[in-house]
């Protein structure tokens, strides 16, 4: 009996040792690793409230002329689909006064061939392609970019 | 002594009556049992048709409105509270619930006819279906929204200033939830916002942005 218990103990110890180096559910890396096995620090979800506060502040300075202005509010659950554009619900020329919102720039009323249109051009329909919620994010790669002199 | 004789005679007459009317009594008991059983069966069956699993047992629902709902705040949110299909689409009160169920039996016909059995067909019919649901919710003052959300419990201190403005203005003018909150869980039908070809095919913008007329 005693020896059998010992054997079980040894076997489990051995199994534990086998699992140790690979440790798929390690404490720090959250089980994430690159294809070459380097651990990736676990992604701690950022608090939505903090992000929201960062977005809903005064507009950040623009860095270059003709930079699309940034969005100063969260845009989750604001759909821009083929059927409906939630942005235009407040920012169109029809609605901006009521919402005290910024109106869409006149430059967006030009068709693909330069002709003036009565309303926003379909090619300018997908607002979030250029206008994104602002956040004071660190550059992913260090660079030497400097603001245009007129904007300094 | 007197009391016991009185009781005895009373019991005897009761027994006699029971024996004389035993057919009727038996029928009554059976009828009651059958009725009770009927209520239980009816209620259980009704509950069965009031589950999400039942709703998405048709692919018409599963691949369209259900998958849209899965990306919405009523499916997943920070407090983990979920509203499923019947919470919004089936009234809780008995009579309106029966009306809804009888109306919904029409879906069986259209399931057989294949009215919306492809995404394209569904999209073509979306304006009609959406508007009929909006009409229903408007008529009952968005009762299904109000089953969980109570405007009197709004904490305007934690709402954004945009929400505060719209809620106070809208509620003061007698508007109801669905007047503005359309397409929050399912995709909207085409709305004419004056851009491109939607001008010809879309529904009026007033549907999602009703003009506010202050109450007198």
- With contact defined as beta carbons under 8 Å apart, do B58 and B111 qualify? yes
Q: How far is CA B111 from the centre of its chain?
A: 20
- Residue B95: the pLDDT is 93
Is the sign of the CA dihedral A95, A99, A100, A105 positive or negative? negative
Query: Cβ of B188 and A84 within 8 Å?
Result: yes
Predicted local confidence at residue A18, as pLDDT: 47
Per-block average pLDDT, block size 10, for chain A (152 residues)? 57 51 49 80 66 81 88 87 91 89 92 89 93 86 84 66
What pLDDT digit, counting tens, does each position of B123-160 carry? 999 999 999 999 999 999 999 999 999 999 999 988 88
The CATH number of domain A63-138, selected from 3.40.50.720, 1.10.1130.10, 1.10.3720.10, 1.10.20.10: 1.10.1130.10
Q: Please write the tens of the pLDDT for every residue from B16-60.
A: 988 888 888 889 999 999 999 999 999 999 999 999 999 999 888
Residue ranges per domain, chain A? 63-138
Residue A71, Cβ neighbours under 10 Å: how many?
A: 20
- The 3-state secondary structure of chain A reads CHHHHHHHHHHHHHHHHHHHHHCCCCCCCCCCECCCCCECCCCCCCCHHHHHHHHCCCCCCCCCCCCCCCECCCCCCCCECCCCECCHHHHCCCCHHHHCCCCCCHHHHECCCCCECCCCCHHHCCHHHCCCECCCCCCCCCCCCCCCHHHC
Nearest CA in chain B to A100: B162
pTM: 0.74
HSE-up (13 A, CA, CB side) for residue B201: 13
The closest CB to that of B195, out of A77, A89, A120, belongs to A120
How many contacts (CB atoms, under 8 Å) link A and B? 51
d(CA A117, CA B117): 38
pLDDT tens digits for range B158-200? 888 888 988 999 999 999 999 999 999 999 999 988 887 656 6
CA dist., res. A31 & res. B56, Å (int): 35
Query: What pLDDT, on a 0 to 100 scale, did the predictor assign at position A33?
Result: 79
Question: Which residues of chain A neighbour B181 with C-beta distances below 8 Å?
Answer: none
A-interface mutation test, from B125, B160, B187, B194, most A Cβ less than 10 A away: B194
Contact B194 A79 (CB under 8 A): no
């Amino acid at each position: 009996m005693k020896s059998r218990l010992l054997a079980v103990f040894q076997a489990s110890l051995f199994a534990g040792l086998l699992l140790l180096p690979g440790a798929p559910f390690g404490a720090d890396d959250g089980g994430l690793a690159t294809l070459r096995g380097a651990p990736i620090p676990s992604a701690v979800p950022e608090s939505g409230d903090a992000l929201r506060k960062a977005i809903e502040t005064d507009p950040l300075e623009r860095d270059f002329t003709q930079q699309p202005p940034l969005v100063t509010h969260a845009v989750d659950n604001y759909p821009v689909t083929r059927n409906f554009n939630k942005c235009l619900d407040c920012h169109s020329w029809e609605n901006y006064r009521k919402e005290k919102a910024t109106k869409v720039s006149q430059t967006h009323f030009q068709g693909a061939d330069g002709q003036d249109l009565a309303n926003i051009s379909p090619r300018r329909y997908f607002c979030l392609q250029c206008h994104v919620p602002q956040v004071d994010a660190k550059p992913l790669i260090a660079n030497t970019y400097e603001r245009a002199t007129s904007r300094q | 002594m007197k009391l016991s004789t009185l009781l005895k005679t009373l019991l005897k007459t009761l027994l006699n009556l029971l024996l004389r009317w035993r057919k009727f009594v038996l029928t009554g008991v059976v009828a009651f049992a059958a009725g009770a059983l009927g209520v239980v069966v009816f209620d259980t069956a009704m509950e069965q048709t009031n589950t999400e699993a039942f709703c998405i047992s048709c692919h018409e629902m599963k691949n369209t409105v259900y998958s849209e709902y899965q990306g919405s705040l009523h499916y997943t949110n920070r407090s983990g509270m979920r509203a499923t299909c019947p919470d919004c689409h089936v009234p809780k009160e008995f009579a309106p619930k029966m009306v809804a169920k009888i109306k919904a039996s029409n879906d069986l016909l259209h399931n057989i006819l294949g009215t919306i059995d492809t995404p394209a067909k569904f999209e073509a019919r979306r304006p009609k279906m959406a508007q009929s649901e909006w009409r229903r919710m408007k008529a009952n003052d968005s009762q299904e929204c109000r089953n969980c959300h109570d405007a009197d419990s709004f904490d305007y201190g934690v709402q954004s200033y945009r929400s505060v403005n719209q809620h106070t203005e809208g509620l003061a003018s007698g508007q109801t939830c669905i007047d503005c909150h359309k397409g929050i869980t399912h995709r909207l039908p085409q709305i004419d916002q004056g851009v491109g070809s939607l001008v010809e095919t879309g529904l009026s913008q007033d549907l999602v942005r009703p003009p506010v007329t202050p109450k007198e």
